[in-house]
Every structure is written in structure tokens, then in C-alpha cells.
Structure 1
Amino acid sequence: MPRASSPTKPGSRAARSTTGRWCWRARPMRTPEATRRRAATERRGRRAEWLALAALMLKGYRPLAMRVAAAGGEIDLIVRRGDTIAFVEVKARATLVEAQGAIGRVKRQRFSRAVRAWVSRNPFAAALTLRADAVFIGGRGWPVHLVDAFPIEGL
């Protein structure tokens, strides 16, 4: 028996399950406006990370990696100065107060999980001092670097 073509349901997407049947995804398709907003947010985030990296390099840090995704989390910047490796979370918001409040408990847990995964893949890091820093960017001001912003869980 030939398979039926993709059924259409307004505002939803269909996907073929592992059994070959069609199933409906719970989330609706993105509108072009939502896609544009998401792309603009992505660009702002990338710019903020480059600005944060420039500020850290002026302070003497050397970049090791950017945008590292591991174990369900993401590390925005990994930098080194001397015997210290700093895993940096970058937050850009309209004001510094909003940026500082943007790192919650769940984000810290994901960040820590990603750090542990990165350290397990890079054995040279075990002999160095590891810390979690944050760089906050608000408005048009210079980035604010917060050293040892929160503990890395599980290290």
C-alpha cells in the first residue's frame, strides 16, 4: 500500500515517527517575523561575545575556544591567563541590572555540566585553576567582567 503524503493541519508540522506513522509536533511553525527576531537576537549575542572577548584580551586573557556546546549546555568563551582557565558566560541586555539577573540556577547547572564535559576531553586543564566568570553588557557601556561569578558544580 503506498504511503499517504504529509497530512496538513493549519499551524502545525507533521513528522514521520520511527514506526512510519505521521505524528503532529506540539509546537507550531515559526512565522517569518519570529524567524527574523530570532536571527536578530542571535546576531546580538554573537556581537556581545566578540565584544566580551576583546575586553578580556585587553586584560591579558588568551582565547582557547568560543561557543562550546557539550553535555546539554554551552560555554560562550573559554579563556586562559597564566595558570587559570576561565569559562565565561556572556549576557547582554538593555541594562546591566537585567544582564546580571539573567544567569539563573538552571543556566548555572547547564553551564557546569558543559564545563565538566570540556575538562574531561581536555586533560591538560586538570592541572590548572578553573573558574566560572561572567561578562555583562548593558546598553552602550563597556563590558563588566565579574571574576568567579558562580561556583562550577561538581568540580
Structure 2
Amino acid sequence: MKRQRAEKQGRAGEGRAALWLQVKGWRILDRRRKTPLGEIDLVAKRGNVVAFVEVKWRATAAELDLAIDERRLARVAAAAEAVAHEYAKDGEDIRIDVLLLAPNLFPRHIVNAWQP
């Protein structure tokens, strides 16, 4: 039951993140993109930038500080690298972003979170 509730909350968080990005002028290209190397929560584009976005939803602001780490970012980066050619065309930049969400808080958008 706890896992199912977490999955449901995660999906709701991804929906909120997509909506927030759209309000900020991003176009959502894909959701929950699965690759052999992992899953990308959102693929979004604005101008000549394609962002592969990891979304983290937590119950409290304090939990958000521990929601993302180098291992998780590396997995998202590997998955993004495997499919970037499908979304980014010539001259478009790609990056890994993180969106952190918790109830009653403004989303925290970490731009270009992965820099190996």
C-alpha cells in the first residue's frame, strides 16, 4: 500500500511539474520516457534548449534536500544521453534539470543540475 501511494503521489508530482514548466513557457515533449538505462520523468523544450527533467515530490521541504543525489542524476544523464538524438536537433542544447516539489511550496527548479 505504501509503495502504491508513493507511486500515485509521484505521478501527481510529475503532472504538477509539467504544468509548472508549461506556465514558464516550456513545451512537454515526453513523459516517463523509459530507456534501458533508466527513466526520464519529463522531456521539455523551450527555445533551443531540451531539458531532461527529474521530478522529486516529497511530503516536506526538509525531505527535498535529500531527494536527489549524484547517483540518481548520473542515471538520468545516462538515460538522456541514450535518447537525446530523438529530441534535440542540430544546434539545440541539452541539459539535465531537477524540479523539487512539496505541498504548499513553490517548485524549486534546479537548472543544469548535472555537470560531470
Gaps of 5+ in 2: none
Q: 1:145 to 1:123 in 2, by over 3 A?
A: closer
Please name the residue that 2:54 is paired with: 89
Scaled by the length of structure 2, the TM-score of the pair is: 0.90
1:85–1:125 Cα contact (<8 Å) kept: no
Greater relative contact order structure (CA < 8 Å, 6+ sep): 2
Identity %: 34
Which residue of 36, 41, 62 maps to 1:71?
Answer: 36
Aligned positions of 1:97-136 closer than 5 A = 97-120=62-85, 122=86, 124-136=88-100
Scaled by the length of structure 1, the TM-score of the pair is: 0.69
Give the count of matched residue pairs: 116
Any runs of at least 4 consecutive aligned residues in structure 1 with deviations exceeding 3 A, and if so which? Answer: 123-126
Q: CA RMSD in A?
A: 1.6
Q: Which structure has the greater CA radius of gyration?
A: 1
Aligned positions of 1:26-45 closer than 5 A = 36-45=1-10
Which residue of 23, 41, 52 maps to 2:17?
Answer: 52
In structure 2, distance between residues paired with 1:149 and 1:97: 19
1:75–1:88 Cα contact (<8 Å) kept: yes
Please name the residue that 1:24 is paired with: none
